[in-house]
Amino acid sequence: MKLPQEIIAAKRDGAVLDAADIRQIVAGLTNGATSEGQAAAFAMAVFFRDMNADERVALTLAMRDSGTVLNWDDLPGPALDKHSTGGVGDTVSLPLAAAVAACGGYVPMISGRGLGHTGGTLDKLDAVPGYVTQPDIGLFRKVVREAGCAIIGQTEDLAPADKRLYAIRDVTATVETIPLLTSSILSKKLAAGLHGLVMDVKFGSGAFLPDFKKAQALADALVSVANGAGLPTTALLTDMSEPLASAAGNALEVAYALDHLTGRRREPRFHEVTVALAAEMLLLGKLADTIDEARAKIEGAFASGAAAERFANMVAALGGPADLLDKPAKHLTAAPIVKAVYPQAPGIVQAVHTRGVGLAVVALGGGRTRPQDPIDHAVGLVELAGLGEHVGPERPLGIVHARDEAGFEMAEARLRQAYTLDEAEVSRGPLIAERIMESSGR
């Protein structure tokens, strides 16, 4: 066995690490043999020297094996999941999991909380009274088998080395290096015991990686490493240059997802991304032979109400109200102040600083800047204007749901700053810019 500093020095000097060396560093993250300083030095060495394909796979597998690895081989169908790199108004996971379950897939979705300008799936579900986001493994398995899907939070024993390394990366400016990003995302998904994974990698003004080329590089790496580690994976590059849904905020996004599931309201952009990602999951799970067949099955699950039924079953099985879909207003908390924000002069939306929209929700109390921050589930924004829309006295930029007048005024100012208006007509780029499969290559 080598000293940790020998391994760090080798990577610092540009060497390719073998799998045993990588496993030693990762094991040390869990058992304490790798110090905080050594972990930080290792992360910085990787940041500057990168890792080749074999190193990335070895790092991801070592992180996976640092804790419990689930197994779903006893299910009558494939265990499938979707992961998004985050954005604003991205509540796709809620209707998607239910639709895939209605088509014969099983979705054991282990999700995270929001940080910065992005909303977390778990925070949204915390807005549902009674819903248990941290069930024991027995209940998790039971709900997945019976409802077909369960959306819960990461348990302490899934990829614990990632949790420690992420905290170190967060304070050493090494979060955004692709090998470490890739292993962090995929180690948890591999530990979940999946048979197929679809990655939704965002680009644009509301994305974690706004630059398209950087997002594309991350998507390539995720697909390559996941497949190299034995998890069939496809990625879609999707546009986050404006909020995906017209709602942002926890209870408000749950209500939006319920409207989508029941058919009360289905916005085209949100629906397109949801169907595209869900269809890719069916393909990976061999529940459809072609992408057209897969899309038709997902559309059918929404149209027939089967997806809504699966979602209702999941919510009830995890302690939530049985009538949530029919009576959301009865259960979801509402903010006391609801007021529209109009532009100072009318015009056509030329650009949306989507990160700024997300930060408006954070300023209202609906997001967090530190993991321990509390969340106000009632606040947020609805009826957000999209690119190319004409806004003015008849059409606001959005409607603010606030706890008090001071919160409204802060969100009002941020919302106005986030929108660029002019009189020119605007054409959107493609919502789904690229599909990346194992054989795509560059």
Active site amino acids: 81-84, 121, 169, 184, 188-189
Count of residues in the chain = 442
Written as six digits, the tokens of 290 are 């072609």
Task: Report the side by side order of strands in the sheet with 196-203.
Answer: 80-84, 196-203, 233-239, 432-436
What value does the CA radius of gyration of the chain take, rounded to a whole number of Å?
A: 22
Q: Are 373 and 114 in contact (CB under 8 A)?
A: no
Nearest 5°: the CA angle 407, 411, 413 is 120
Return the bridge partners of 427, or none.
none
Q: Which residues of 116-147 are buried (b: 16+ CB within 10 A; e: fewer)?
A: ebbbbbbbbbbbbeebbbebeeebbbebbeeb
CB contact set of 435 (below 8 Å; sequence gap of 6+) = 234, 235, 236, 237, 280
Q: Are 223 and 235 in contact (CB under 8 A)?
A: yes
